[in-house]
Structure 1
Amino acid sequence: MIVSTGLACAILVGCFLLLILIRVPVAFALGIATIPIVMLDIRLTPFIILDRMFQSYNSFILLAVPFFLLAANLMNSGKITDKMIALARVLTGWMPGGLGHVNVAVSMLFAGISGSSTADAAGCGKILIPAMVKEGYDVRFAVALTACSSVMGVIIPPSILMVVWGGVMQVSVGALFLAGAIPGFLIGAALMGTVYAYAKIYDYPIVARPTFNDFWVAFKGAALAILTPVLVIGGIVAGLVTPTESAIIAAGYALLLGVFVYRTVSVHDLGGIFYETGRFASISLFAIGTASAFGWMLAFYNVPRLIVDFMGTMEFGPVATAIAIACLFLFFGLFIDAIPAIIILGSVLLPVATAVGIDPVVFAIIGIVSLAFGLVTPPYGLCLLISAAIGQVNVVKVLPNVLTILAPMLLILMLIILLPQIALWLPMTLMPDSFR
């Protein structure tokens, strides 16, 4: 038989949701959900699904994913996170709620190195959550702030999500890196404003007023580490390296710092670091394959065209469409990982965004920021789960603080929608050729 569009969509989405409800991992659920359609429709064979998965892996740019993960793991294992925290402490610790500001500042610094929010939540959380509790901060606030600040790891460049988005949607990764910079710093500023308000209400202390010598010592300790984003982003913007080559440079530089400069990573440690990197990279890449097969099947049955036609009948303008797109990404981010959501939802919604004149780079930033927030919202909320496990507190008890901290961050997302030049100014200034 030939399966109709409506039936195919119902079977695909219905099977996927059912598998998620019975706690099948998302990467497997996406692949398994395609099987009933393949069995019913005479036009499809299992080899088509396997071919789509292989085609998704056969991408040079996706090699950047394991190398950015390796850079993050080397930075964490090499105690470079400690040097970042020392620098953040002298930069922001003198303000009311000092350690809270340090938490945000170190997430911004670490985001410029790792490209991974989960690495940020794990690496920084292990140090800062116990330190904040010891200084008299409510553990729920410490956990919520660590989780929310870690989302900047995939917004401030370099970002693994931007690498995946650029590879899947054929958008310049360099332009995406630049487009994420200003929104990332605005989210950081919003977080610091929230910390300041908490500090005034609950009388949280400052850390210390640093001297020039304190600043100089902290800066010297972290200077080599904070060169990483300069090497990565500068190389791409200058056209000297590809995103994949920049990820290799980041990993090689982190290895050099950990083994030879700071000497905090031994040869014995490397086996465990490589194993953890391979494990996490395989999870991400397997999800890319199954999500690509699922997304291709939606495209095969013309689901994107139906959505474009529906949005056309609603006569939404660019702003209303962008808000609807953000809401869909926020909703999907509640339940599934960002990478499969990018491949499935991003591919489906790209024609919708293009039809109303939303720039592909702005569309990408709206999608990535929205999905980043999903890292702190249950039931998925991976960064929140990691932070809560470190703080040894129930996730439900942390939620009121998460929602309070997340509210100003959502306002920044709305600001990006209303003023897309926030995302476009840097890439249009530094990489105008990527828009031709």
Structure 2
Amino acid sequence: MGASTLSAGTAAWILFGMFFAQLALRVPVAVALGIACLPILLIEDRLWPMILVQETFNAYNSFILLAVPFFLLTANLMNVGGITDRLVRFSRALVGHFPGGLAQINVVLSIFFAGISGSSTADAASQSKLFIDAQRKEGYDDSFSVAITAVSAVLAVIIPPSILMIVWGGVLTVSIGALFLAGIIPGVMIGLVQMATVHAYAKIRGYPTYPRATLAEIFSGFMVSIPALITPFIIIGGKIFGWFTATESACIAVLYAGFLSIIVYREMDFKGLWLAFSDTGRLSAITLFCVGTASAFGWLLAYYKIPEALLVGVSAWEMGPITTGLFIAGVFLVVGCFLDAIPAIIIVGTILQPIAALAGLHPVHFAMIGIVSLAFGLVTPPYGLCLMIACSIAKIRMIDALKDTMIMLIPMFAVLVLLIMWPGMALLLPSLVEPDFLK
């Protein structure tokens, strides 16, 4: 077999140069990844353009990826079927009396929603429609309302079931059950620091609170929410205890959300069902197209052994576990600003995995550092998809919400550093519930 026409360095410059040039021209990420592959496929004698199509479709030949559209459909069924409204009522009874009551409800609802949907974009869209205008009427600043709605939406990729965890587990061969358990403590801690941030804002700016709910109101809110609150236990518990796979759990979540919306709460008609399916189809197409073109991009990186070349350089630094964790977080934080989380996992995750293993990081710990770091990219420009959605619904410029967003990310970053320094935050629950997940 003859040598490649291009060297690894030249191929890397063409791939990444083409990709970032297109991002500067505001070409959609999924399209930019695919187009960046074409010059290499045309120049290299042993390759041809149809490989782009072949590798893109090879990525879709994955049973695990079926979970992505099903979890998106679950989230949409929740929104149109009255499930979200019940969770809002219960959240208000729990935390409405805290300073900044409506914003506190926003965060708590994101925690509940995250345990069911797994999609931050679906959370950002639904929460923005629910809360931004309502907070505006109660005297909250637009920048604060947009920032807390967008920032709390990222919990959906950290608290299980998470679409990113499913993709990470499938691409990097990590136990999805272990990832589900590993995300609980970091996710809840980030939710708590967000509530503390709201508390501080409310005290400084004088945001309103609601009267404290009575025990009867809390009990009533809990009772009507029980069917919805059971959903994460069905999804996560079923996966952890081996009752069904991640994909099967997503299917069961759809059936259960449909049952609640149509039979129990009786709030979803045919129009609502059609809306849920059409939104799911659109979001799934965007998400899975990213997976396909990112896989083709990653295939070319592997073909030219670019990850190995990068690994040699980084390995020479001889970093310890904490330094390596901070380095990995830094890479994902930067990449997340420009790239969607799913292609970032496929491309960057595979490059960093050997570096993490060399430093002695457990695969589950490495995964959680990567997922939490990528969550920041959902609200940081120029990509910042959740922030973009919230700003679009609020009809304000992204730059106007940027200051408050950056302030809210500071305590979240402290949790990320704690996660890097204390692996037990990610590994404690998997080791207690099912130690075999960590083998």
Aligned match of 1:126 in 117, 124, 129? 129
Range with greater deviation from structure 2 (25-34 or 46-55): 46-55
Does the Cα contact within 8 Å between 2:311 and 2:351 map onto a contact in 1? no
Aligned residue in 2 for 1:8? 11
Aligned residue in 2 for 1:326? 329
AA aligned to 2:38 is I
Q: TM-score, normalised by structure 1?
A: 0.98
Quote the Cα distance in structure 1 between the aligned partners of 2:73 and 2:86: 19
Does the Cα contact within 8 Å between 1:330 and 1:373 map onto a contact in 2? yes
Aligned match of 1:337 in 333, 340, 344? 340
Q: How does 1:282-301 map to 2 (within 5 A)?
A: 282-301=285-304
Aligned residue in 2 for 1:37? 40
Question: How far does residue 46 in structure 1 lie from its aligned partner after superposition?
Answer: 2.9
Quote the Cα distance in structure 1 between the aligned partners of 2:411 and 2:419: 13
Range with greater deviation from structure 2 (406-415 or 49-58): 49-58
Aligned residue in 1 for 2:118? 115
* CA-to-aligned-CA distance 1:182-201 (integer Å, 9 cap, x gap): 00000011101111111221
AA aligned to 2:435 is P
AA aligned to 1:11 is I
Matched residues, number: 436
Aligned residue in 2 for 1:64? 67
* CA-to-aligned-CA distance 1:133-175 (integer Å, 9 cap, x gap): 2222212111111111110011111101111111111111111
* CA-to-aligned-CA distance 1:216-273 (integer Å, 9 cap, x gap): 2211221101111000000011111000000000011111111111111112322222
Aligned residue in 2 for 1:76? 79
Quote the Cα distance in structure 2 between the aligned partners of 1:194 and 1:109: 19
* CA-to-aligned-CA distance 1:285-304 (integer Å, 9 cap, x gap): 11111101101111111111
Quote the Cα distance in structure 2 between the aligned partners of 1:51 and 1:196: 52
AA aligned to 2:127 is C
Distance 1:269 1:196, change over 3 A: closer
AA aligned to 1:268 is K
Quote the Cα distance in structure 1 between the aligned partners of 2:142 and 2:309: 48
* CA-to-aligned-CA distance 1:298-347 (integer Å, 9 cap, x gap): 11111111222111211211111111111111111111211111111111
Aligned residue in 2 for 1:179? 182
* CA-to-aligned-CA distance 1:336-386 (integer Å, 9 cap, x gap): 211111111111111111111111111111111111111111111111111
Quote the Cα distance in structure 1 between the aligned partners of 2:395 and 2:109: 22
Quote the Cα distance in structure 2 between the aligned partners of 1:143 and 1:280: 22
Question: How far does residue 97 in structure 1 lie from its aligned partner after superposition?
Answer: 1.7
Aligned residue in 2 for 1:237? 240
Does the Cα contact within 8 Å between 2:183 and 2:426 map onto a contact in 1? yes
Q: TM-score, normalised by structure 2?
A: 0.97
Quote the Cα distance in structure 2 between the aligned partners of 1:5 and 1:308: 13
Percent of matched pairs sharing the same residue:
52
Range with greater deviation from structure 2 (35-44 or 154-163): 35-44
Aligned match of 2:265 in 250, 262, 266? 262
Question: How far does residue 404 in structure 1 lie from its aligned partner after superposition?
Answer: 0.8
Aligned residue in 1 for 2:159? 156
Does the Cα contact within 8 Å between 1:333 and 1:341 map onto a contact in 2? yes
Quote the Cα distance in structure 2 between the aligned partners of 1:36 and 1:393: 39
Q: CA RMSD in A?
A: 1.2
Does the Cα contact within 8 Å between 1:307 and 1:352 map onto a contact in 2? no
Aligned residue in 1 for 2:255? 252
Q: How does 1:197-236 map to 2 (within 5 A)?
A: 197-236=200-239
Question: How far does residue 99 in structure 1 lie from its aligned partner after superposition?
Answer: 1.5
AA aligned to 1:79 is G
Does the Cα contact within 8 Å between 1:52 and 1:293 map onto a contact in 2? yes
Range with greater deviation from structure 2 (237-246 or 205-214): 205-214
Does the Cα contact within 8 Å between 1:90 and 1:218 map onto a contact in 2? yes
Does the Cα contact within 8 Å between 2:180 and 2:236 map onto a contact in 1? yes
Quote the Cα distance in structure 2 between the aligned partners of 1:271 and 1:143: 28
Q: Does 1:48 align with 2:80?
A: no
Range with greater deviation from structure 2 (91-100 or 337-346): 91-100
Aligned match of 1:388 in 377, 387, 391? 391
Mark the runs of 5 or more structure 1 residues left unpaired by the alignment: none
